[in-house]
Amino acid sequence: MASNTDHLLAVEGLTVSFDGFRAVDDLSFYLDRGEIRVVIGPNGAGKTTVLDLICGRTQATAGSIRFEGAELTRMKEHQIVRAGVGRKFQTPSIYEDLTVFENLELSFPRGRSVFGALAFRRDSEVSGQVEEMARSMFLQDHLDRPAGILSHGQKQWLEIGMLLIQDPALLMLDEPVAGMSVSERAKTAELLRRIIQRRSVLVIEHDMGFVESIADKVMVLHQGRVISEGSIAHVKADRRVVDVYLGH
């Protein structure tokens, strides 16, 4: 195996416990540049907690998370974002009172300090990028509408767009197609394949059809540990995975 520095993300010995309950237990995995990795596992397996740990929302009890050579466990959330990690939440998390345009504009990576925000001007670069992003998220006709009135699927896209406009090297998506219609799912899968070009993606998803349509590699979590890792065919054939999903 190549040395850790070749990976975009290297998670080693990651552990977090809440009052003695180990939600993530000595977890290690490596993510390559340009890879789409899907995390699956039963409820309570620790999937969302892993994303929380990487983006700094939860403090690790032990272990390390290295991202492009930087140790994320010692950084604050906004620093992790600025280092190039984007995170989408399970339920769409957008600013309902602001327009689609403003939602994207606020996510544009400029003027992020207090005084930078005071001095921020909406120039042609910002408008251009926002409009382009809206087009790729199928939202070009909704720019001036408050985001609160979008459909559930459109809100999911908007949030993905808000992440992409930051141009992150690692994109983490928590159940991006939950609550979407069949056609929206297909569109989202296409979208993800398109945006993957220059970045790595870590996705939590339950929908196996969707997983098969996008994943390079699948990782199965159970009780905070990786019990199987590899191609979809490999994982599906794994006895332990079947046991976990069907129960003993």
Partner 1 sequence: MLMGYSFGDLGSIMAMQGFAGLILFSVFVLMALGLAVIFGQMGVINMAHGEFMILGAYVTFLTSRLFTTYLPGAFGAYFFVAVVLAFCAAGLAGMAVEWLLIRHLYRRPLDTLLATWGLSLILQQVYRSVFGAREVGVDQPEWMMGAANLSESIQIPINGLIVMALTTLIAVAVYLLIFRFGWGKQIRAVMQNRAMAGAVGIDTARVDRLTFGLGCGIAGVAGSAFTMIGSTSPTAGQLYIVDAFLVVVFGGTGSLIGTIASAFTISQARSTLEFFLSGSMAQVVVLLTVVGILMLRPQGLFVLKVRR
Partner 2 sequence: MGVLNRKDLLFIGLLAALVLIVLPMALEPFRLNLVGKYLTYGFVALGLVLCWGDAGILSLGQGVFFGLGGYCMAMYLKLEASTPEATKIQSTPGIPDFMDWNQITELPLFWQPFHSLALTLIAIPLVPALLALVVGFAMFKRRVGGTYFAIITQAIAAILTILIIGQQGYTGGVNGITDLRTLHGWDIRTDHAHTVLYFVNAGLLIGCLLLGQYVRRSKLGRILVAMRDKEDRVRFSGYAVADFKIFVFCFAAALAGIGGAMFTLQVGFMSPSFVGIVPSIEMVIYCAVGGRTSLLGAIYGALAVNWARTTLSEAFPELWLLALGSLFILVVVAFPDGLAGIYRKTFDPMLDRLLPWLRRRPSVHGPAVLPAQPIASAE
236 binds partner 1 (CB under 8 A): no
Helices marked H in the chain — which ranges?
Answer: 47-54, 77-83, 100-107, 114-119, 124-136, 152-164, 182-195, 208-214, 232-237, 239-246
CA pair distance 137, 161, nearest whole angstrom: 6
199 binds partner 2 (CB under 8 A): no
Q: Are 200 and 8 in contact (CB under 8 A)?
A: yes
The encoded tokens of residue 248 equal 């003993």
Contacting residue, 33, 34, 42, 57, with partner 1 by CB under 8 A = 57
Q: Residue 122 binds which one of partner 1, partner 2, none, with CB within 5 to 8 A depending on kind?
A: partner 2
In the window 161-220, what residues touch partner 1 (CB under 8 A)?
Answer: none
223 binds partner 1 (CB under 8 A): no
For residue 54, the SS3 value is helix
Q: Which stretch binds partner 2 (CB under 8 A): 18-26, 32-40, 90-98, 199-207?
A: 90-98
DSSP assigned state of 4:
G
Contacting residue, 74, 78, 152, 234, with partner 2 by CB under 8 A = 78
CA pair distance 91, 194, nearest whole angstrom: 23
For partner 1, the binding residues (CB under 8 A) are 18-19, 23, 49, 57-58
For partner 2, the binding residues (CB under 8 A) are 55, 57, 76-78, 81-82, 86-87, 89, 93-99, 101-102, 105-107, 109, 111-114, 117-120, 122, 127, 130, 143-144, 146, 159, 162, 166
